[in-house]
Amino acid sequence: MINERIAKLINDQMNFEVESAYLYFAMAADLDCRDLDGFSNWMKIQGQEELQHVTRFYTYLVEREGRPFFTGMPAPQKEWESPLSIFQAALVHERKVTDRINKIITAAHEEGDHATVNYVNWFINEQIEEEANVKTVIAQLKLIQDSGQGMFMLNKELAARQLTVPPAQTQ
Ligand SMILES: [Fe+2]
Ligand SMILES: [Fe+2]
């Protein structure tokens, strides 16, 4: 059975993953307003991935005889200055997530909770990927600057991103 301290950290993270999804859907809406449907597709998939993370933490709590509780959350920002500032804000957010994941694992070590260390380790690799993916888009946006042709091409490229569903037993 999971101890109270770790259960709270996992539950907080589950709620933070909902908040992440919320933020990315708000960013997708801003991108759609700019007629950047490919950029918006990328961000919506990012949001859907966050919902998969919610399910991971939820499932883990239940399996360890914990209980998921959903809390309220602040409304996300509505508008950003530019597509670049959206992706820069996404990177700041992902770094915050990485920091939180590290703190959960540190706490799990302190509590001798090897099951949590093992389970949450999946998120260590996931966060490396998450940060790298956002950084790639930022680098491309910086290369293009304000070129319409560049934006057209990148929008097309980001339209191709698809949601990958992880195997059921690890979801
Ligand atoms: Fe996440
Ligand atoms: Fe993420």
The full set of domains in the chain, from first to last, is: 4-161 (1.20.1260.10)
Rounded CA-CA distance 24/120 in Å is 22
Q: Is pLDDT of 12 > 90?
A: yes
Separation of CA 17 and ligand 1 centre (Å): 5
Q: Could you say which ligand is closest to the alpha carbon of residue 93? A: 2
Q: What is the pLDDT of residue 168?
A: 61
Q: Is pLDDT of 166 > 90?
A: no
Q: Is pLDDT of 149 > 60?
A: yes
Write out the two tokens for 115: 């099951």
Separation of CA 130 and ligand 2 centre (Å): 6
Rounded CA-CA distance 125/170 in Å is 14
The model's pLDDT over 57-90, given as tens digits with 9 standing for 90+, comes to: 999 999 999 999 999 999 999 999 999 999 999 9
Mean pLDDT of 123-146: 96
Q: Could you say which ligand is closest to the alpha carbon of residue 92? A: 2
Residues 39 and 32 sit within 8 Å (Cβ to Cβ): no
Q: Could you say which ligand is closest to the alpha carbon of residue 91? A: 2
Residues 66 and 11 sit within 8 Å (Cβ to Cβ): yes
Mean pLDDT of 36-63: 98
The DSSP 8-state label assigned to residue 170 in this structure reads G
Average pLDDT, the chain: 96
